[in-house]
Structure formats: structure tokens, C-alpha cells
Amino acid sequence: MFASLAEKLQETFKKLRGKGRLTESDVNEALREVRIALLEADVNFKVVKDFVARIKERAVGQELHASLNPAQHVIKIVHDELTSLMGGSNSKINISPKPPTIVMMVGLNGAGKTTTAAKLAGLLRKQGKRPVLVAADVYRPAAIKQLQVLGEQLNIPVFAVGDKQDPVAIGQAAIKNAVTNGYDIVIIDTAGRQEVNEELMNELESMNRIIGPHEILLVIDAMTGQVAVSVAEEFNKRLDIDGVVLTKLDGDTRGGAALSVRAVTGKPIKFAGTGEKLDALEPFHPDRMSERILGMGDMLTLIEKAQENFDAEQMAKMQKKIRSMEFTLDDFLTQLTQVKKMGPIEQVLSMIPGLGGAKKIKDLQVDEKELIAIEAIIQSMTPQERQDPEKVLNGSRKRRIAKGSGTTVQDVNRLLKQFEQTKKIMKQLVNMEKTLKKGGKIPKMPFF
């Protein structure tokens, strides 16, 4: 996500860091490149204009922070303004003090509304809630069936009464059912359309007025850029939405929607869809996202993902091995399999400070097919070779391993490189966890 924007901004600030002092001309040139990068990322023109103006005002008008050089000062301002642009801090769902909390999902067809409703139910259940999904899209063929299938996969109940009923009546019946059965979150999947129209809006306004949801979440496709922003404006004007869920953010290399929606509507981005799997929905943290864009990593999200996906006892054993320098290729294979559960490896690596650049990540990308090859290579090694490959493996041994695993020597070398990089990453994670346990703070901007 944000790959092209991140690359351009990081390159711009790399030039600044190479200078001993900054002139006003240097700042103007950097801001010109920032402006171009944002416009190419399909960020709203007015948003870009205001954003750059605020940065220039702060960069020229403020005194330097004592611990920062001029280049770092400008980068910090950009980081702060990016964070502010996307909402400042994570915005949570409005939970009603008297259950159930009613969440109405709205949006156009194709944005991923039904899947997002199911993902949100799964996320809230992890937080100790008892959600129920409501099939109120009575127009799109198989919409009810789709929600039922998703609910079955997540083991979350779905309230459905058929496709001949009034959506408002379905919502009312679902709320009564939730009270009877002790569900504390009601997530209503409403009907979408190919485009914003009066029929759609009138129906949603009626449902909003009669049911009175505590939360209206607009689901929009991040990859549609400025279209997403105009859709958000229209829905907000008619429904006074409470927040936005950006889907397909993992495929949005530009980032225009994420950087424009909050500024244009004044409503927060609450969640981001980062993949097709049913657990690929994350709370949206503006500060963490701006750090990713500027190549600073996102260790907090990485640690949260690790805690969700790694077995605590297994992690304790692995940490002990890493500390004692006993991390082997067998351990590497185990960890690689575990890391895959956290999501695409490129996403995971981008959260580590210093590994966010596309060039650095390129050599570390691993897909499912490669996992099979990696397993074959490791199993073709002797115990001694797995224990200490750097010391033991030579050219002839690598040729033997390649032949035995049906791969090439280049594949073996690539695996060894990935292994060394992984050891470095695991050490960073262990050190980060030790810092947290001691009550220390993670440095959000490691190059400062």
C-alpha cells in the first residue's frame, strides 16, 4: 500500500538528509516534489494545496527542535501533518451503553461491503463482543447467501428472512432477535447500487431514521481514488456517516483516497481492508500509516499481529534460541510458516523500520510455492548444515542440496540470504519486546 507515494517521498527526504543545512530554496524544492508526489497519488487538489501550505508555514516559521537537524525538522513536520490529515488518532466504533450496538454498513456495489461486514464481525468477536450479521440487501442476487456463507466460515450467526421483505422491517426484526438472544452488536449489511442515486439514498435515510443506528460506516474502494472521495461526500451529506472503511488498501499503491477522505468529509477512517482473507481488516491508525508512508516502519502493528498469530510458548522457546544464537534453518522454516499467517510477507516487512523500501523488501518476498521449495531445500540438508550453514556450506554441498531438492544453487543461495535477514529481524523483534516489558517507548522515528 502507498508504494509509489512512499518511494517518492522517501527519495525526496533522502536528498534533504544529505545536506548539512537547508536554505529556503531547498525547502521550496522539497515541497514542490511533495506536491507532485501527492497529486500523482491522486490526492484531492485542494487537500494537497492546503497540506503543502501548512508544511511551509511550519517549516519556515518555527524554531528548530533542539535535537533535530534542519532536514529532520522538515520530515517531522511532514509526518505530523500527514498524521493530522488522516485523522490524528485511531477512531473506534461508538459502543452503546445499552446493548445492542447497531452498526449500519453502507456503500456502492463492488466496494466489498458484505465481506467487510463479516470481517468487522470477526474483529469485534476477538474483542469479546457477541455480534450478529443481518442480511438486509434484498436486491443483489445471492447477497443473502454470500453473507450466510461468510457467517458460517467465521462461525458468526446471520439473521435473514428472505429477499421479499422490506429492509427496514428486516432491521427491526433483527434488533428484537438480538435482544432475545443476547447479541451485543448488530451489523446490518444494506443494499448497494452501481452509483449513488435517489432510490438508494431514500431507502438508507428511511432505515437511519427508523432504526437509529449507533454507527453508520461507509465502505469505499480505496483503489477508485477521487471517485471514492466524491462518493464519501455524497453519503456523508445525506446520512451524516460516523466513519469510513477503506477496502483494497493493500492494492492501492497511490493512496489518494486515504489521504483525501478524512480532509474532505471531516469523518474518520476507522478501518482498513488489507487483503482478501476474513481476518484482513485492521483498525486504521493515522500515526502508524504516516510512519509506513515515510519508511519508518510500524512496529506496534507488527507486535500486535505477532501476538495474535504466534503461540506464546513457541515464541518463548524461539526467543531463547535467538538470544543464545541457536536459531537454525529448521526454526527459520517454522517461523516463516507462522509469519505467513500474519499476512503477505511484504506487508509484514514494511512494518519494520529500515526495511520499508521496495528494493530492500524485494529479495525477501516469499510466496506459497516458494515455501514448498524452501522446505525441500532444508530437508535436503544434513543436521550440521541446518545448524550452522554459514560455516559448513560450500559450493559442492550447495550443489548436492540443490540436486536433492529439485532446485538450483541460486535457489539455495537465495534461501540462505533470506535466513540471514530473518535472523536480524527476529533479533529486532526480541529487542523491541524487551524494551516494551521494561516500560520503554518505541522510537517512532528511528532516523531522528
Cβ(117)–Cβ(151) under 8 Å?
A: no
Q: What is the pLDDT of residue 161?
A: 87
- Residues 209-243 pLDDT 10s: 999 999 999 998 888 777 888 888 889 999 999 99
* Angle at 33 (CA atoms; ends 29, 34), nearest 5 degrees: 115
Domains and CATH numbers, the chain: 3-85 (1.20.120.140), 101-288 (3.40.50.300), 299-437 (1.10.260.30)
Band of residue 351 on the pLDDT scale cut at 50, 70, 90: low
Are the C-beta atoms of 246 and 273 separated by less than 8 Å? yes
Instruction: With a cut of 90, say whether residue 181 has pLDDT above it.
Output: yes
User: What pLDDT shows up at residue 131?
Assistant: 95
Give the tens place of pLDDT for each residue, 107-139: 988 888 999 999 999 999 998 999 999 999 988
The pLDDT-based confidence of 19 (bands split at 50, 70, 90) is low
CA distances from 436 to 242, 292, 299, 433 (A): 33, 20, 11, 5
For the segment 130-151, the average pLDDT, to the nearest whole number, is 91
Beta carbons of 258 and 252 less than 8 angstroms apart: yes
| pTM (predicted TM-score) | 0.67
Question: What are 301-341's pLDDT values in tens digits?
Answer: 555 555 555 555 665 665 666 555 567 888 777 776 666 66
What does the pLDDT read at residue 304? Answer: 57
With CA atoms as reference, report the closest residue to 378 among 363, 362, 360, 398.
Answer: 398
Give the model's pLDDT for residue 359.
47
What per-residue confidence (pLDDT) applies to 67?
A: 46
Q: What is the mean pLDDT of residues 396-409?
A: 93
How far, in Å, CA of 89 to CA of 153, rounded? 32
pLDDT (mean) for 55-72: 63
pLDDT at 154: 94
> Which region among 95-99, 105-109, 172-176, 328-332 has the lowest average model confidence (pLDDT)?
328-332
- Binned at pLDDT 50, 70 and 90, residue 448 comes out as very low
